[in-house]
Homo-oligomer: A and B are copies of this chain.
Amino acid sequence: MDNISHTEENYLKAIFKIAEKEEGRPVNTNAISVEMKTTAASVTDMLNRLSKKELIHYEKYKGVTLTIKGGRLATLLVRKHRLWEVFLVEKLHFSWDEVHDMAEELEHIQSEELVERLDDYLGRPKFDPHGDPIPDAEGNFTFRKQAPLADLHQGEKGIVVGVQDHSTAFLQYLDKLQLSLGAQVTVVERFDYDESMKIALNGDKEHIVSKKVSQNLFVQKQ
């Protein structure tokens, strides 16, 4: 009776993800149906089930929040997902745009002992291959001061630490430009016309990147 299905886990993750963006406000049915690519009716059904299992607080028409139990579970799923991504990239040499779907399956593997050993084996990484923080076994996320590249002024420097957009297209484009995590970027010039900017990579190679790119790339100012 306490078993949680993959589907239920996916709903919890979806709710967690939306709640993150919405800063804790109750998550509404429609948002979940969009995230889960399903109908609102199916979501309502599932919300009743999750509520019965005390994984969410749910009041008809009022949206949902995660219970302590639900939140812990969602965080564990995020932890597992990101650790497996590190494994796939660091050990099996996949590239950062290939690992999402596999991690989406691997995160459902049950054993907590496995997660802890995997974490050890990987050297207790604090961030995944996209720069997203990996919660520790207690569920604590490492916080890092970061800003979209778009926020830097002319002359400012930053280290690439993450991405907002996780799409294959974006990640592969970044690879082409050699804009990988750890790269140093300097804003050489900003162009008001289309809000693009010229950047220098590791003080050398120059590129012009669009507004869309600079908004989706996180840097740590230096």
Q: Which residues of A contact B (CB under 8 A)?
A: 88, 91-94, 101-102, 105-106, 108-111, 114, 117-118, 121
Contacts and interface: CB of A to CB of B under 8 A. Distances in A.
A92 B118 contact: yes
B92 A102 contact: no
Majority SS at the chain A contact face: helix
A92 B117 CA distance: 6
A118 B105 CA distance: 16
Given A91-B121, A102-B109, A102-B114, 5 more contacts: A92-B117, A92-B118, A92-B121, A94-B117, A106-B109
A108 to B, nearest CB: 8
A37 B118 CA distance: 31
Contacts of A110: 102, 105
Contacts of A91: 121
A119 B82 CA distance: 22
